[in-house]
Amino acid sequence: MFQTFDVTARPEQGPPRLRALRLEMAAKGLDGFLVPRADAHQGEYVASRDARLAWLTGFTGSAGFCAVLAEHAGIFVDGRYRTQVKAQVADIFTPVPWPDVRLADWLREKLPLGGKVGFDPWLHTRGEIAQARKALEGSGITLAASENLVDRIWTDQPPPPMHPVRPHPIEYAGETADSKRARLAETLRDSGHRAAVLTLPDSIMWLLNIRGSDIPRNPVAHGFAILHDDGQVDLFMASQKLSDLGSPLGDGVTVHAPDALLPVLGQLPKPVRIDNTTVPERIAQALGDRAVQGDDPCALPKARKNPAEIAGSVAVHLRDGAAVVETLAWLDAQPPGSVTEIDVVCALEERRRADPALRDISFETIAGTGANGAIMHYRVTTDTDTLLRDGDLLVLDSGGQYLDGTTDITRTIAIGTPGAEERTAFTRVLQGMIAMSRLRWPKGLAGRDIEAVGRMPLWLAGQDFNHGLGHGVGAYLSVHEGPQRLSRTSHVPLEPGMILSNEPGYYREGAFGIRIENLLVVEPAPDLPGGDPERAMLAWRTLTFAPIDRRLIRGEMLTEPERDWLNAYHRTVAEQIAPRLGDNARNWLTAATAPI
């Protein structure tokens, strides 16, 4: 399905590529240049053509950027990647803990006399550039829009992806594209906006009930769109992607070549809504004073799954859960030291691919044993492939893209006999996962308001983890979906129909990692005796069904309600998944779900 290219820099390639970039900077009169992970669509994942950060530095994480100066090259990564970046990049690149250290502060330190720092305006959002410019006021440092200097030195840069677009059937979408366009156009009229510019691929896919394959593991196609206040849509996408689609886009959708975007933007009547957190600076420049800030109109409607999408997610998690359980049963039968991380990845993906509704895995499967498990987004390669040895833990984080839904599940598995420290930490992580799963909360609260519940058992032990507690998940769309999140920075109120992950963890660098993850859907909470009937409450319904490794649980640490929740969950796992298994896996599941 995909044409992939190995573009990641090896350590020995970093120095010559960095030298070439600095020569281009000097020729353009620039004192620095920014190289982000992002592409022009601001999705989390990028095509090989847009993997500029990996090509230059070797870093393959899904977030971060590099700031290259004449004497310094800082690679800015958040807490998820601080172990990974040290293993991937040459020592000519200095890891910078971001967002603890802001770009503006770093530039002020490294360019005390001021200077001009270039950036590609297609790869940075309007909000990002505005924030950086404000933080640089008085420093003498300017940010200057520039052509992309990495593209000038990347002589064998892959071509843009041109994979076909497919219709997404109404039985899975649950609402026609015409209905979606009309519904969202009304929100534009209510806001007094004449149009909205859409750049996020999953927003465009959702709005038009189509799916693509320009990005491995993500069923999206690259393009831009303008939604008008009468429900008409201008779609800017290469025509060859649409050649197999037929004519299901409807009379209200006009297709243009991608290079027609800027001229059409120049003709739009004001005001035009753009989301400053996702729309590139170049588009904002083209609109000038006709642009007004507003959220992507697709974001919240897409996040609120309709009944058909929720039904699809429920069904797909049962089938996916059976594939996971079959793999766990197989793994448990292998003696310690007899299989590697790649063996586990292949075994799990083979079982998922037996489902005819599977279109792809939903991200690169994470199978990290021992110290590799402490790398939160570890991706095994033939160079790092490690045997699963007695006493180690295996973090297995994986998912599938099915026609009826997207899955994401993590289980931490004991190989042989686990140590006492690992069991204690695992039990605290489990307690956090259970606490969030049991939570009821007043309607109107956002992820930032409740996220601490899943961290509390670790906090009480002086421990924590450097990633959010949970992310949104799409309906046969991106496995990481906004705007809903369980994080300290999420201001978006949780609403019924939103699907999120619940994934606390703990990581001991150089030793082991632990993460447990289920997907949950927000629902109205059932009434309770003595509850306030005037106060609307929300709760979770668990979608993911696979056993949690009982060998890693210290039962004496669990409270009675925690034990009751775990035993009830395991009963449901056995009831729902066992009928879908072969005899060996069914027998294994019976033991794996026995009461604690």
pLDDT of residue 531: 84
In the chain, the percentage of residues whose pLDDT exceeds 90 is: 88
pTM (predicted TM-score) = 0.93
pLDDT of residue 92: 85
pLDDT of residue 2: 41
Residue 246 domain boundaries: 166-301
Specify whether 111 is located in the same domain as 241.
Answer: no
How confident is residue 90, by pLDDT bands cut at 50, 70 and 90? low
Specify whether 446 is located in the same domain as 488.
Answer: yes
Specify whether 542 is located in the same domain as 584.
Answer: yes
Specify whether 412 is located in the same domain as 456.
Answer: yes
- pLDDT (average), residues 222-250: 92
For the chain, the farthest-separated pair of C-alpha atoms sits apart, in whole angstroms, at: 74
Is 159 within a domain? no
Q: Look at the chain and report how many structural domains it folds into.
A: 3
Specify whether 499 is located in the same domain as 392.
Answer: yes
Q: Please spell the DSSP secondary structure of 23-89, one letter per residue.
A: HHHHHTT-SEEEEES--TT--SS--GGG-HHHHHH----SS-EEEEESS-EEEEE-GGGHHHHHHHS
- pLDDT (average), residues 7-12: 82
Among 153, 181, 209, residue at a domain's last position:
153
Pairing of strands 499-502, 505-508: unpaired
3-state secondary structure 390-446: CCCEEEEEECEEECCEECCEEEEEECCCCCHHHHHHHHHHHHHHHHHHHCEEECCCE
Structure confidence by residue, pLDDT tens digits, 59-85:
888 789 999 999 999 999 987 877 788
Residue 381, domain CATH: 3.90.230.10
Specify whether 115 is located in the same domain as 229.
Answer: no
Specify whether 108 is located in the same domain as 248.
Answer: no
Specify whether 282 is located in the same domain as 316.
Answer: no
Is 5 within a domain? no
Residue 436 has pLDDT above 80, yes or no: yes
Structure confidence by residue, pLDDT tens digits, 140-185:
999 999 999 999 999 999 999 999 999 999 999 999 999 999 999 9
Specify whether 255 is located in the same domain as 326.
Answer: no
Provide the mean pLDDT of the chain. 95
pLDDT of residue 283: 97
pLDDT of residue 5: 59
C-alpha count within 13 angstroms, C-beta hemisphere, residue 512: 23
Is 378 within a domain? yes
Residue 1 has pLDDT above 80, yes or no: no
Specify whether 185 is located in the same domain as 145.
Answer: no
Contact between 396 and 463 under an 8 Å Cβ cutoff? The reply is no
Q: Please spell the DSSP secondary structure of 195-245, one letter per residue.
A: EEEE--HHHHHHHHTEE--SBTTB-----EEEEETTS-EEEE--GGGGTTS
Structure confidence by residue, pLDDT tens digits, 484-507:
999 999 999 999 999 999 999 999
- pLDDT (average), residues 34-55: 92
Is 160 within a domain? no
- The CA distance from 362 to 473, in Å, is 10
Is 360 within a domain? yes
Is 500 within a domain? yes
Residue 73, domain CATH: 3.40.350.10
Contact between 277 and 125 under an 8 Å Cβ cutoff? The reply is yes
| AA identity, residue 91 | D
Residue 247 has pLDDT above 80, yes or no: no
Specify whether 440 is located in the same domain as 551.
Answer: yes
pLDDT of residue 83: 79
Specify whether 294 is located in the same domain as 310.
Answer: no
334, two tokens: 């292998």
Residue 3 has pLDDT above 90, yes or no: no
